Amino acid sequence: MDIGLIGIYSNRGPAAAAAFLFWGIFSITLHELAHGWAALWQGDDTPRIYGRMTINPVVHMGWLSLILLVLTGIAWGSMPVDPSKYRWGRRGRIIVSGAGPAMNVILWFLCWGGFGLLVAKYFDGGSLAQGVRAIPEGTAKQLASFLLIGGMLNGMLALFNMLPLPPFDGASVLAGFSRTYYRWMHNPRVASIGFFIVIVALFSGVTRIASDAAYDLGARFAGFVVGLAS
């Protein structure tokens, strides 16, 4: 079995598995809380009514999601909101739905920025890969791996969640801009087709494409940080 935490443990060791588990839970929890904070700002008190403004990951993810994170590396979360209460109406969807991916982008910047600063500490010219290899074994190397996993995971979360298909946040963001898409998104048949496409994407090469894109963008930003700090 080469998926989930077992696969990461087998291929990269216990530290990488622990880092993946931490970032998976932490990133999804903050993603959902960002939706809640934005909803409250828009005048919707639904997240508070349902007791969802908490850092408890079980509340946001549920036990099934947490178990699947361990077994398959795939997980999700949810935040109850009531768009009818948004002070900006349909436009409020853009803010509330976009807040989750925006949180992942912030974490992406922090992880890759920290990774770049760590590489810069040992950088003596050459490529980013050469700088990474120059990091000595031990705490520094483990920290580099921790930040790299966090950057990769949050990059993928941001990219996937902005896909314009239900149930991803990108669908709600686009619905905030287009009334036609808003009506289309609430068609039950469209929702079921979107869910099917999501399942196919998760178990096809799309996941690999998203992973490569997340790494490439992150490495470019880290290289930029190295250049500034060196």
Peptide bond into 188 cis (omega under 30): no
Taking CB atoms within 8 Å and a gap of at least 24, the contacts of 220-224 are 221/109, 221/112, 221/113, 221/116, 222/112, 222/113, 222/115, 222/116, 222/119, 222/128, 222/151, 223/116, 223/128, 224/116
User: For the chain, how big is the Rg over CA atoms in Å?
Assistant: 19
Question: What length does the chain have?
Answer: 230
Rounded distance between C-alpha atoms, residue 65 and residue 43, angstroms: 29
Residue 58: CA atoms inside 13 Å, Cβ hemisphere, count? 1
115 contacts 148 by C-beta, under 8 angstroms: yes
Tokens 């996993």 sit on residue:
149
In 3D space, the residue among 173, 192, 43 whose CA is nearest the CA of residue 97 turns out to be 173
Rounded distance between C-alpha atoms, residue 176 and residue 138, angstroms: 48
* 32 flagged as catalytic: yes
Q: Which residue in 29, 32, 170, 175 is the catalytic one?
A: 32
198 contacts 165 by C-beta, under 8 angstroms: yes
C-alpha torsion 221→167→59→6, nearest 10: -60
For the annotated catalytic residues, the residue numbers are 32
